[in-house]
Amino acid sequence: MSILFDGLHINQFSSYGTDDIKDEAILKIIFQDDSTQNMRFNVNVNGEKLRSLVMRHLGLIDNEYFGLMYEEKPESNKWIWLNKKKKVKKLMTKDSSVFSVRFKVRFYPLVPHLVAEWLGRRILFLDIVERIKNGCWCIDNKNIFLELIALTCKVYDPVLIRESSVEGIIRNSEKYGSLLMEKFDIIHCDVLETAMNYDHLLQRSNKRKRSGGSPICSQNMNRDILIAEYLKVVTKLQWYGSLYCNISHNKNSNNDQYVYGNYKGLSFLNSSSEILVCIQWSKIKKIEKNCNVIRIFYYDSDNATKISFEHNNYEAKNYFYVLSCLKNYVDAWNKKIKDDEMEFLQKLAQLSNNTGDNKKNNRKNISLRQSLRNSFRNSIRGRISTIRRHFSFNKKSPTSEGDIIVCA
């Protein structure tokens, strides 16, 4: 059963951006759990416009983390990120009145539990659960994983634990965590005991709720509370939010190499999860793609790291797309920090120039000092938190920037 749209009412055939019914088609949006939503749209819009219309249709304001993928060829099962500038009409098969897309996560928020809409948080939850289930992120902390798998079980059965729900916890823990449970030697009793700890969270929440709500409404609220808690815990993982890719020439060998792209930058790992090279975003000049090769250029070096994919051009397209989206987002975020610093310095200069004015100006100066003090304090706190959490590597120091990784 889908958990995405419990309690959400969406007009299945909302129409956006069309004046002529001849240019209209139905967009079928497929989500991670295979639930679907439908809407009408103008086939002459480009990929970015269609993405915006879908976000509007779903009521997602915090939507920069999400995107749409389409099937390259019918029945090929090869899904490619929607081209921002290309008209959707050129991607549709002739005489087709339905265009199917998959709703996917492009990259991950720094603080996922603060995403504005609960639908966005649920989408993130489903995506992260699948990534952990499939072993896409390196997880070396048993306690964190135990919390995550217990919360996963609770989300799918968001009621206080009773005898009838024990079987569900066993079933869901095997479904979503069997690989790591075996790795850490975790048994079902461990998961059950940890899951029971979150009953106290639900009990405190239920006491604050008004009486008279339906059981289904109560379960949906419990689920959202548990998902928010899950998204808090998952950020403790070292590789949380990483866009993972196997870049080995022979992917069946024991010497695989992987690249992890996240807010810290790009990290290249071997099959033993040892970091070979770390490149922070501030050192990356640009990312380019030529056929099935992705190249990353540094600011202070002409050397390049080359990633190649054997006979999988669509993989190169997809990874280049998500890396570009992440880099653009990080660059915009860093620019905002610099702009805030410049605004702070300008206010500080204005304060210095007005020190000799009359009492009225003095009162303004006092108010400005207080504003600057608060701004400075918040800026320092934010910077310390950011530096500690997102722009430092906890593994061994990277090799020199001149290193080149070539997988050809």
Domain extent, residue 177, equals 112-234
Q: Among 174, 208, 234, which residue terminates a domain?
A: 234
Three-state SS string over 200-269 comes to HHHHHHHHHCCCCCCHHHHHHHHHHHHHHHHHHHHCCCCCCCCEEEECCCCCCCCCCEEEEEECCEEEEE
Other Cβ atoms closer than 10 A to 315: 19
| Residue matched to tokens 């918040």 | 378
**How many distinct structural domains can be found in the chain?**
3
Q: Do 294 and 306 meet the contact criterion of CB atoms below 8 Å apart?
A: yes
180 belongs to a structural domain: yes
CATH code of the domain containing 43? 3.10.20.90
Helix (H, G, I), strand (E, B) or coil at 2: coil
Q: pLDDT means per 10 residues in the chain (408 residues)?
A: 72 59 90 93 94 94 95 89 92 90 96 93 96 89 95 87 75 92 92 88 67 64 92 94 81 76 89 85 86 80 63 82 93 85 79 60 56 58 51 40 39
| Residue matched to tokens 């479904």 | 175
147: phi then psi, degrees, rounded to nearest 5: -60, -45
Asked if residue 175 and residue 259 are part of one domain, the reply reads no
- Rounded to whole angstroms, how far apart are CA atoms 296 and 310? 18
Pairing of strands 293-298, 304-308: antiparallel
396 belongs to a structural domain: no
Whole-prediction pTM: 0.80
DSSP label at 93? Answer: P
DSSP 161-211: --HHHHHHHHHHHHHHHHHHHHHHT--HHHHHHHHHHTHHHHHHHHHHSPT
